[in-house]
Structure 1
């Protein structure tokens, strides 16, 4: 019995006092089948089509001034987050994306690099973003404050959105699973069906949240061009 509901997110796996939980972020390379690297299988073609669709969408979001190859940053970000989200759905594997350490370390450097690039190279463009077009003159100081605050909290919202969605689904699965020993046969069968449905929902959330993170990062990048 867990003393704390959130203990399933604690980094507790270690060898000689060295935590190995974060190794889960790289364990998927072992799970990728060898033919993926040698010949174009069906999985390879499917994954290529997904990444190509993302490339076209990110290229549209970045606009014409976007630098060549800039979409690969966001495609890699999408792949990395989605992979870690799926790894967390397997039993006894550490969910790295449910920790703010991981999500904030992804969001903060991206946002900071966009801000530094924008304010150094396009200062007037960045200042113009603080006052939306058509704002009445008396409201301009308030809009500058609001836009500044909304800009500063962007990395926090990206990190919290991803971590909170990962935590919420895992907590729900744990809460339902902990009621199993006290149920009869019929209710256990219903519980198994509910757990399978929730697992399918979590699989969709794993894809959606990685997509949202990558798209919002792309939109933030397009504002500084």
Structure 2
């Protein structure tokens, strides 16, 4: 039972080749390339509107030097969003349920924001480790706490994304198994669990979009502190 629940999170293989690479490349293959035509189609128009709206929302509070990250963070947003949504389809695999992948995205991006801060404004970056007006006896303790908090940030980014998607996938599988089990005993209860499954699927779609946005939003906040 436990093995069946968590087997959906193991990377599928074909002829000994892991298919996680295919799952990671699929969002880019489905994302259309912008066209130079005067009248683009509806899909490209919707894509352009989404990218412009997202970029304006994320980078409005940032300083001008932080706007250089627009292309990178928008690409990360589209990448995570595509993998999250495609992973909800039947017989698919969600790469963002793997902590290794999420940390592989979070750690380099977080480290880049920290490196930019220490390169451009080292005094302000070090000042974040010690709040102004701190009593002298508390200075060593606060420096240790703020340093630990700084290094926990990439771990929190990766674990948040992994935990939310994993929990929702497990709930969907548990309720779908309950629906199938109840179908032979009580159709009324089975119908109720099926309606619950539909509502949970809608919630999972919302979680997939929100978690992709939150991941990039937190990165933009870290960038705002260091630019």
Normalised TM-score (structure 2): 0.89
Alignment partner, residue 71 of structure 1:
70
Deviates more, 1:161-170 or 1:116-125: 116-125
Alignment partner, residue 15 of structure 2:
16
Conserved in 1, the CA contact under 8 Å of 2:28 and 2:79?
A: no
Alignment partner, residue 60 of structure 1:
60
Q: CA deviation at 1:121?
A: 3.5
Q: CA deviation at 1:27?
A: 1.9
Residue 218 of structure 2, aligned match among 202, 216, 219 = 216
How far does the alpha carbon of each residue in 1:96-144 deviate from its partner, in whole angstroms, 9 at most, with x for none?
0010111000000111122223223422121111112332333222211
CA distance in 2, matches of 1:51, 1:164: 27
For residues 68 and 177 of structure 1, do their structure 2 counterparts lie closer, same or farther at Cα, with a shift above 3 Å needed? closer
Alignment partner, residue 140 of structure 1:
139
Give runs of aligned pairs for residues 20-99 of structure 1, distance below 5 A: 20-31=19-30, 40-64=40-64, 66-99=65-98
For residues 114 and 33 of structure 1, do their structure 2 counterparts lie closer, same or farther at Cα, with a shift above 3 Å needed? closer
CA distance in 2, matches of 1:60, 1:138: 39
Give unmatched runs, 5+ long, in structure 2. Answer: none
Q: CA deviation at 1:31?
A: 4.2
Q: CA deviation at 1:63?
A: 1.9
Q: CA deviation at 1:29?
A: 4.3
Root-mean-square deviation (CA), in Å?
Answer: 2.1
Alignment partner, residue 191 of structure 1:
193
List 4+ stretches of structure 1 deviating above 6 A: none
For residues 160 and 211 of structure 1, do their structure 2 counterparts lie closer, same or farther at Cα, with a shift above 3 Å needed? same
Deviates more, 1:150-159 or 1:135-144: 135-144
For residues 33 and 157 of structure 1, do their structure 2 counterparts lie closer, same or farther at Cα, with a shift above 3 Å needed? closer
For residues 115 and 93 of structure 1, do their structure 2 counterparts lie closer, same or farther at Cα, with a shift above 3 Å needed? same
CA distance in 2, matches of 1:152, 1:32: 34
Give unmatched runs, 5+ long, in structure 1. Answer: none
Conserved in 1, the CA contact under 8 Å of 2:32 and 2:44?
A: no
CA distance in 1, matches of 2:151, 2:197: 38
Alignment partner, residue 158 of structure 1:
157
Q: CA deviation at 1:182?
A: 2.4
Conserved in 1, the CA contact under 8 Å of 2:110 and 2:154?
A: yes
